[in-house]
């Protein structure tokens, strides 16, 4: 059983640029949630995708957007990057059957905005 994978591992961008981060969910999981973890902080919920549609969103501006594909992999897109967007971005996959909210996290993508 393949776990959650994310790419790239590290990324450096400059202010104003756009970035796309990718996540492949664990086999059999059709729900993907994205979290942002700033340095020294706990992860914060960005949004969740279920069956290719957004299914809940945290307190993040519209320049944070996402996609989910038929194979349940997902992308997080951030436009007009700001310095404060520098963080570790984590995705978590979960099944849609009752699983007591068990979510499996990937290793994360560390984004640095200069």
* Residue 44 found at the interface with another protein (CB under 8 A): yes
- Binder of another protein out of 45, 64, 67, 86 (CB under 8 A): 45
Task: Check if the beta carbon of residue 86 is closer than 8 Å to that of residue 113.
Answer: yes
Question: Do 32 and 46 touch, CB atoms closer than 8 A?
Answer: no
Count of CA atoms in the C-beta half-sphere (13 A) of 80: 4
Contact between 113 and another protein per CB under 8 A: no
Q: Which pair of tokens denotes residue 67?
A: 């996609």
| Residue 3 token pair | 């776990």
Residue 54 to residue 7: CA distance in whole angstroms: 21
70, 71, 84, 101: residue in contact with another protein (rule CB under 8 A): 101
**94 lines the binding site for another protein (CB under 8 A):** yes
Indicate whether 95 belongs to the interface with another protein (CB under 8 A): yes
Binding-site ranges for another protein (CB under 8 A): 31, 33, 35, 40-45, 48, 50, 55-56, 58, 88, 90, 92, 94-108, 110
């Amino acid at each position: 059983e393949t776990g959650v994978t994310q790419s790239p591992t590290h990324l450096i961008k400059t202010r104003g640029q756009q970035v796309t981060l990718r996540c492949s969910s664990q086999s059999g999981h059709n729900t993907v949630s994205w979290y942002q973890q700033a340095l020294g902080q706990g992860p914060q919920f960005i949004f969740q995708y279920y069956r290719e549609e957004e299914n809940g969103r945290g307190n993040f501006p519209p320049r944070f957007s996402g996609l989910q594909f038929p194979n349940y992999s997902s992308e997080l897109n951030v436009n007009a990057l700001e310095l404060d967007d520098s963080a570790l971005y984590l995705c978590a996959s979960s099944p849609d059957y009752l699983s007591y909210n068990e979510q499996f996290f990937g290793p994360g993508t560390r984004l640095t905005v200069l």
